[in-house]
Amino acid sequence: MCGVAGFLYKDPGRSGPVGQTVLRMLDVLGSRGVDGTGVALYGPPERDALVLRVKLGGRGSGDEQAARIADRLESMGTIRHCEVRDDYLRLVIATAGSVARVAEAVEQGDPGVEVFSAGHAMEVVKQVGPAQVLRDRYCLSTFEGTHGIGHTRLATESRVDISHCHPFWARPYADISVVHNGQITNYRKMRRLMEMRGVHFCTDNDSEIIALYIAEQLASGAKLQQALERSVDDLDGTFTYLISTPDGIGMAKDFFATKPLIVTETDEWVAVASEEVALYETFGGVLRTYQPPAREVQVWLR
């Protein structure tokens, strides 16, 4: 149903054109589906501030909506950056407020305005159409950062629209998102149980539950490796998914190895993609590649 990709610089001090790298892999994976494309990229972390990516689907022009948002955030902190590009707003706000409260304030009373990511480093940008849309409309090929994940979508059950594209932010947990290839078949059942516990879902897309599940596990003290391992037992259906956190990227494959993934590594970086051809087109040359088997869980940290 989809293609997934991820890239990480191993050295915590290093950053580079992760936007272009991930997008190049997504160009090739577009043959698996172009109902939507999306990325979650990690730029230089903002201390004491939150970076948000907001979809502007509300009343009026982008600038008008941005102005209203800025008004709503006045009491919460100082806005350091507020840039409208096409239908997205990139906002950096120095604040002591929680991610949840800041995001709510951004959306307050403005249906159509949706916070796609909020955190200290992670920026989620996604849209209907192929990877080139993200380059053309949001200039992501110049994004400098430490790591990122991406996704091309072949919609199976939920709507084809911007909100149902991946990655899904594990709202309201900062800097965590997921991209998923497959179909979670116990999604509705798990969702009802989680909702009873107060978890809120933003879409009807089954992939979102993976992000929320992992985030909950991490919040309760589990390490990423553990959370991924538990998910292989708790989630039913088909999946290869990538979870992104501030420290790195995690991967899990389902019991039956129904969805593909190829990994390639050098001393400096790690790249993963659903198909080997995406790695070859992006990195060229001779690559040492590896194919994780069923049930495999892996974590790559900076």
Contacts with other proteins by CB under 8 A lie at 1-3, 31-33, 35, 57, 103-104, 107-108, 110-115, 154-157, 159, 161, 163-164, 181-183, 200, 202-204, 238, 255-260, 275-277, 279-281, 289-291, 293-295
Cβ at position 15, least distance to other proteins in Å: 28
In angstroms, give the least distance from the CB of 72 to other proteins. 12
2 has catalytic annotation: yes
Helices (H) and strands (E) in the chain, counts: 8, 16
For residue 268, give the DSSP letter.
S
Q: How many CB atoms lie within 10 A of CB 9?
A: 19
Considering beta carbons, is residue 247 or 281 the nearer one to other proteins?
281
> 266: closest CA among 1, 10, 5, 89?
10
Considering the candidates 2, 82, 139, 165, report the single residue annotated as catalytic: 2
The nearest distance, CB 121 to other proteins, in angstroms, is 22
Smallest separation (angstroms) from other proteins to the CB of 48: 23
Sheet with strand 168-169: strands edge to edge: 168-169, 177-184, 237-245, 248-253, 297-301
Cα–Cα distance between 197 and 202 in angstroms, integer? 15
Closest CA to 151 of 173, 170, 168, 138: 168
- CB count, 10 Å around CB of 103? 22
Cβ distance to other proteins smaller for residue 115 or 224: 115
Measured from the CB atom, the residue of 3 and 43 that comes closer to other proteins is 3
Question: Which among 165, 155, 154 has a CA at the least distance from the CA of 126?
Answer: 165
The one-letter code for the residue type at 236 is: D
Residue number, 204 or 247, with CB nearest to other proteins: 204
Using the Cα atoms of residue 15, residue 125, residue 115 and residue 196 in order, give the sign of their dihedral: negative
DSSP conformation class of 161 = S
Nearer to other proteins, 78 or 291 (CB): 291
**Closest CB 280 distance from other proteins, rounded Å:** 5
Task: Kindly list the catalytic residues.
Answer: 2
